């Protein structure tokens, strides 16, 4: 940090920005991944429910299982930000 | 508690002459779960019994009653119990009243279907006539020519025709209508011209007179039929109002008759006797035995058999009443087996706590509590009521956690005091984020996460300990020991990893073991102990089945999975705060400084945004809180010990809802 005349505040601000970008990537990318995973589970779940209404509760649950991915992303983002 | 209801296996044998009275007595007590008899080749003298006399009559009458119920739109499951009718009265009324009601309903249904067919036909005719109303020609003028051809149909636009012709065109009808009469010799070229304008022929109705009059006649017929149908419906409603109680009572009585009459199909019989095997709850066994001996004057043989295969025992829950609604959540996964621990009680306690931790908000909790209480009046049926009771407990827990977190609709709790409104500090950890103008105490996210991990560690440890107990139930001898050691191995590995983490890093709310003196290889005492536990644990897992080692990463991922208790909760707090900020901070408050007409509209819009946002967040909170809490049980907790797959205890008999034995 010797050259180009950056002050300490500027460095800190850009570090904050980097953290925010990191957090956004953590949530955003894992969100996409969860979405793709839930897409497959969800369509199978709807099919199964159409065949037999009794499995609704169970398949609703199976549908949220991939949500763990985005929750880990959210946890990482929260740890980055706070 | 923690165990299903204890069952006894009974064998009942009696002369065939007593079968009637025994079935009746068993049905009345409603505790005997019949084990269906399967004919085997080794006992050739045993065969399946025959239905009691009267079975087919009862079944035929039942079908009639169901048909009447169907026609009148009566659903016995949804009928409120008004008064219980004595069985003898129902039987008498089946003989006297039922045939008349049946005749009346059958006639009404026949009339209605005739009227419906008639209405349909006239509607169809009216539809066909509609295009012709626009043309000033009587219907008989469209047909009966030898030298002329008549084109009638829809067309995209009017066309000019070069040959001698007569033409009518109207655009007052949907799709326009054209009528062209030409001599037969010009037919082909006219047809080509018409087809170029996308001509579509329509049939000429086989009627005479002016189309408008005919149309009116058909419409009158349709109305008449509709009035007739309404009358029939009215009469059916009258029958429904007058006879609902009787009909559902018939349904119940006849269903019971049929079930009783068909019971021998589940028994084994010889020429003179019958034998039945079944299950009764242990505390009912003496009562049913005494009752059976009394009604048969001792002409019955009852023996208690040994339970040789626990997986065949039907399972009935035995839980304190506050935990019984949670049985629904367990059944959704799988009913416990007879020999294993029933986790209902633990889920009943922990599920609301998880829900409250996620959706800890006084406002949302209150909305859900009111909803669950309100819906309890509307929703009938066992499953719905149980679910609403689970939701009720969960929302109370949500209110309690809301007070602990000091949250109401995403802002902090305030109470009136002499000096004005004062903010209540969070008694527990605080989850308020720095969004908008909300007060900016920093959220204690790290502490909350560590707490969630503690909950995870303890919950999983509990699961493994239960697994240790269950290992004795599922396996015998050497394998039981192996399974138990494997469970200890999983526990050792998890706690070993924890000890090593504590020895290297200081984490808030967790023991700080970094300061311990170094013992060997740069490791301190805790780290060394952790390493020993870890290695011993892995060996313990591997001795049962080395393939299980593939699952080792789940130790970490399952524990970390509990951080969802904080993460999902925080996301709901964030949505609530954002809604508040947009609606109040950005839309409403600026308008309050100087009130104008457009300002009032903006304020109303702001209130709408506020209501919509919180309604959406309540729904999300309910789904998120509920599904994630139950998922932590199903995936992280149950996989450690629970097998499930028990048979449902389904006693022979019926709870009388609409009828009563004198």
Radius of gyration of chain A (CA): 20
- What is the Cα Rg of chain B in Å? 38
CA atoms within 13 A on the CB side of B468: 14
d(CA B205, CA B167): 19
Q: What is the mean pLDDT of residues B381-390?
A: 87
| pLDDT category of residue A3 using cuts at 50, 70 and 90 | low
What pLDDT, on the 0 to 100 scale, is given for residue A40?
92
Neighbour tally for B251: CB within 10 Å: 20
Label residue B219 by pLDDT band (50, 70, 90).
very high
Contact B628 A67 (CB under 8 A): yes
Task: Tell me the pLDDT tens digit for each residue of B620-649.
Answer: 999 889 989 998 998 889 888 888 888 889
Q: B557 near A65, Cβ under 8 Å?
A: no
Please tell me which of the candidates A58, A75, A82 has its beta carbon nearest to residue B563: A75
**pLDDT band, very low/low/confident/very high, at B540 (cuts 50, 70, 90):** very high
User: Which pLDDT score is estimated for B1?
Assistant: 65
8 A C-beta contact, residue B464 and residue B470: no
Report how far residue B559's alpha carbon sits from residue B177's, in angstroms, rounded to the nearest whole number.
75
B11 token code pair: 């064998």
Task: Give residue B545's pLDDT.
Answer: 86
The pLDDT value given to residue B662:
62
- Outline where DSSP puts E strands in B606-649: 647-648
> d(Cα B35, Cα B651) in Å, to the nearest integer?
10
Residue B443, CB-side half-sphere exposure with 13 Å CA sphere: 27
Q: Residues B618, B368: contact at Cβ < 8 Å? A: yes
Q: Given this model, what pLDDT does residue B655 score? A: 80
CB B414 within 8 A of CB B393: no
Sort strands B85-86 and B47-48 into parallel, antiparallel or unpaired.
unpaired
Check: CB of residue B27 under 8 Å from CB of residue B654: yes
Look-up: residue for tokens 């239960």?
B466
- Chain A nearest-CA residue for B558: A68
Averaged pLDDT score across all residues of chain B = 87
Q: B619 falls in which pLDDT band (50, 70, 90)? A: very high
d(CA B72, CA B70): 5
Identity of the residue in A61, A71, A79 whose CB atom sits nearest the CB atom of B564: A71
**What are the residues of chain A with a beta carbon less than 8 Å away from any beta carbon of chain B?**
57-58, 60-61, 64-65, 67-68, 71-72, 74-75, 78-79, 82
Residue to test with chain A: of B327, B569, B631, B636, most A Cβ within 10 A: B631
CB-based contact B649:B315 (threshold 8 Å): yes
Q: What is the mean predicted confidence (pLDDT) over B470-487?
A: 83
Q: Which of B389, B329, B390, B401 is nearest to B365 (CA)?
A: B401
The reply to whether residue B567 touches residue A78, judged by beta carbons under 8 angstroms, is yes
In chain B, the N- to C-terminal Cα span, in Å, equals 36
Q: In terms of DSSP bridges, do strands B314-315 and B647-648 run parallel, antiparallel, or are they unpaired?
A: parallel
Bridge partners for B648 per DSSP? B315
User: Is residue B367 helix, strand or coil?
Assistant: helix
- Helices B87-96 and B211-262 pack at an angle, to 10 degrees, of 140
The pairing of strands B85-86 and B659-660 is: parallel
Q: Label residue B459 by pLDDT band (50, 70, 90).
A: very high
Q: Is the predicted pLDDT of residue B441 greater than 80, yes or no?
A: no
pLDDT at B438 > cutoff 70: no
**B361 in helix, strand or coil?**
coil
Q: How many CB atoms lie within 10 A of CB B443?
A: 21
Candidates B326, B328, B331, B332: best to mutate against A (most CBs of A within 10 A) is: B332
ipTM: 0.81
Bigger pLDDT: A2 or B534?
B534
Whether A42 shows a pLDDT value over 70: the answer reads yes
Instruction: Spell out the long-range contacts of A27-32 with Cβ–Cβ below 8 A and sequence spacing 24 or more.
Output: A27/A70, A27/A73, A27/A74, A27/A77, A28/A73, A29/A73, A30/A69, A30/A70, A30/A72, A30/A73, A30/A74, A31/A70, A31/A73
End-to-end CA distance of chain A: 25
Q: Which residue has the higher pLDDT, B226 or B134?
A: B226
A72's enclosing H/E stretch is: helix A67-81
Are B474 and B643 in contact by the 8 Å Cβ rule? The answer is yes
Model confidence band, residue B142 (pLDDT cutoffs 50, 70, 90): confident
Q: Where are the alpha helices (DSSP H) in B98-210?
A: 98-129, 187-196
The Cα B229–Cα B115 span in angstroms is: 7
pLDDT at residue A31 greater than cutoff 90: yes
Supply the mean pLDDT for chain A.
86
Helices B19-29 and B211-262 cross at an angle (nearest 10°) of: 110
> Does the pLDDT of residue B433 top 90, yes or no?
no
> Has residue B124 got a pLDDT over 70?
yes
Work out whether the CA dihedral B326, B393, B407, B427 comes out positive or negative. Answer: negative
In tens, the pLDDT along B498-526 reads 999 998 888 888 888 877 777 777 778 88
Q: Is A82 helix (H, G, I), strand (E, B) or coil?
A: coil
The label of the residue with tokens 């008694």 reads B427
The pLDDT score that the predictor gives to residue A2 is 53
* Chain B residues near residue A79 by CB distance under 8 angstroms: 445-446, 449
Q: How many residues does chain A have?
A: 82
Q: What is the pLDDT of residue A39?
A: 92
| Helices (H), ranges, B545-596 | 553-561, 564-580, 589-592
When pLDDT is cut at 50, 70 and 90, the band that residue B230 belongs to is: very high
pLDDT band of B488, cuts 50, 70, 90: very high
Query: For residue B346, what are its two tokens?
Result: 């633990």
B50-84 residue pLDDT tens: 888 888 888 888 898 888 888 888 887 777 777 78
pLDDT value, residue B91: 85
Are B510 and B559 contacting, i.e. CB atoms less than 8 angstroms apart? no
pLDDT at B141 over 80: yes
Chain B residues whose C-beta sits inside 8 Å of any chain A C-beta: 332-333, 442-443, 445-446, 449, 557, 560-561, 563-564, 566-568, 570-571, 627-628, 630-631, 634-635
What distances in angstroms separate CA B186 from CA B147, B166, B192, one per listed residue? Answer: 11, 12, 10
**Tokens found for residue B150:** 């008549």
């Amino acid at each position: 940090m010797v050259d180009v005349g950056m002050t300490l505040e500027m460095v800190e601000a850009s570090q904050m920005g980097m953290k925010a970008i990191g957090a956004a990537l953590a949530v955003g990318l894992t969100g996409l991944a969860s979405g793709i995973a839930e897409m497959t589970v969800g369509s199978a779940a709807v099919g199964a429910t159409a065949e037999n209404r009794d499995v609704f509760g169970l398949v609703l649950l199976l549908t949220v299982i991939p949500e763990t991915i985005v929750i880990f992303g959210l946890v990482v983002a929260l740890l980055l930000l706070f | 508690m923690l165990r299903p209801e204890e069952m006894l296996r009974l064998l009942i044998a009696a002369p065939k002459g007593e079968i009637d009275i025994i079935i009746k007595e068993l049905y009345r007590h409603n505790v005997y779960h019949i084990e269906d008899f399967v004919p085997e080749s080794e006992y050739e003298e045993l065969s399946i019994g025959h239905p009691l006399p009267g079975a087919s009559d009862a079944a035929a009458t039942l079908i009639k009653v169901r048909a009447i119920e169907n026609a009148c739109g009566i659903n016995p499951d949804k009928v409120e119990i008004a008064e219980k009718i004595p069985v003898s009265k129902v039987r008498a009324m089946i003989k006297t009243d039922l045939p008349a009601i049946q005749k009346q309903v059958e006639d009404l249904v026949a009339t209605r279907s005739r009227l419906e067919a008639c209405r349909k036909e006239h509607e169809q005719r009216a539809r066909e006539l509609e295009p012709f109303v626009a043309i000033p020609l009587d219907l008989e003028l469209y047909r009966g020519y030898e030298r002329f051809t008549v084109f009638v149909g829809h067309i995209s636009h009017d066309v000019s025709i070069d040959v001698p012709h007569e033409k009518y065109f109207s655009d007052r009808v949907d799709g326009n209508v054209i009528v062209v009469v030409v001599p037969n010799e010009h037919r082909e070229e006219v047809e080509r011209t018409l087809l170029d304008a996308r001509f579509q022929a329509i049939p000429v109705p086989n009627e005479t007179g002016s189309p408008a009059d005919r149309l009116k006649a058909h419409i009158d017929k349709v109305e008449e039929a509709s009035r007739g149908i309404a009358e029939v419906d009215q009469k059916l409603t009258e029958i429904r109002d007058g006879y609902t109680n009787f009909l559902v009572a018939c349904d119940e009585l006849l269903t019971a008759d049929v079930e009783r009459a068909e019971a021998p199909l589940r028994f084994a019989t010889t020429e003179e006797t019958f034998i039945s095997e079944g299950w009764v709850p242990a505390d009912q066994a003496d009562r049913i035995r005494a009752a059976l001996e009394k009604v048969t004057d001792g002409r019955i043989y009852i023996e208690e058999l040994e339970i040789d295969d626990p997986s065949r025992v039907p399972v009935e829950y035995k839980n304190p009443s506050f935990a019984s609604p949670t049985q629904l959540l367990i059944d959704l996964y799988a009913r416990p087996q007879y020999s294993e621990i029933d986790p209902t009680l633990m889920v009943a306690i922990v599920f609301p706590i998880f829900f409250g931790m996620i959706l800890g908000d006084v406002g949302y909790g209150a909305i859900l509590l009111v909803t669950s209480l309100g819906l309890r009046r509307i929703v009938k049926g066992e499953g719905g009521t149980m679910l609403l009771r689970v939701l009720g407990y969960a929302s109370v827990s949500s209110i309690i956690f809301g007070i602990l977190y000091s949250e109401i609709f995403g802002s902090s709790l305030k109470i009136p005091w002499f000096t004005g409104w004062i903010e209540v500090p969070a008694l527990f950890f605080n989850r308020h984020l720095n969004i908008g103008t909300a007060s900016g105490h920093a959220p204690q996210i790290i502490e909350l996460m560590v707490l969630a991990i503690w909950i995870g560690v303890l919950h999983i440890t509990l699961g493994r300990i239960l697994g240790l107990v269950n290992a004795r139930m599922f396996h015998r001898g050497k394998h039981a020991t192996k399974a138990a050691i494997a469970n200890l191995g999983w526990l050792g590995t998890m706690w070993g990893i924890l000890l090593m983490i504590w020895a290297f890093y200081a984490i808030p709310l967790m023991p700080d073991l970094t300061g311990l003196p170094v013992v060997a290889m740069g490791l301190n005492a805790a780290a060394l102990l952790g390493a020993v536990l870890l290695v011993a644990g892995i060996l313990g897992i591997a001795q049962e089945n080395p393939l299980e080692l593939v699952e080792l990463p789940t130790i970490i991922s399952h524990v970390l999975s509990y951080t969802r208790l904080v993460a999902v909760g925080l996301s709901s707090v964030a949505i609530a705060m954002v809604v508040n900020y947009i609606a109040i901070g950005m839309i409403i408050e600026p308008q309050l400084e100087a009130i104008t007409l457009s300002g009032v509209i903006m304020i109303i819009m702001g209130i709408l945004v506020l209501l919509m946002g919180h309604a959406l967040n309540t729904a999300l909170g309910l789904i998120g809180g509920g599904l994630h809490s139950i998922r932590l049980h199903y995936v992280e907790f149950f996989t450690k010990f629970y097998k499930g797959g028990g048979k449902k205890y389904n006693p022979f008999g019926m709870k009388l809802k609409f009828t009563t034995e004198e």
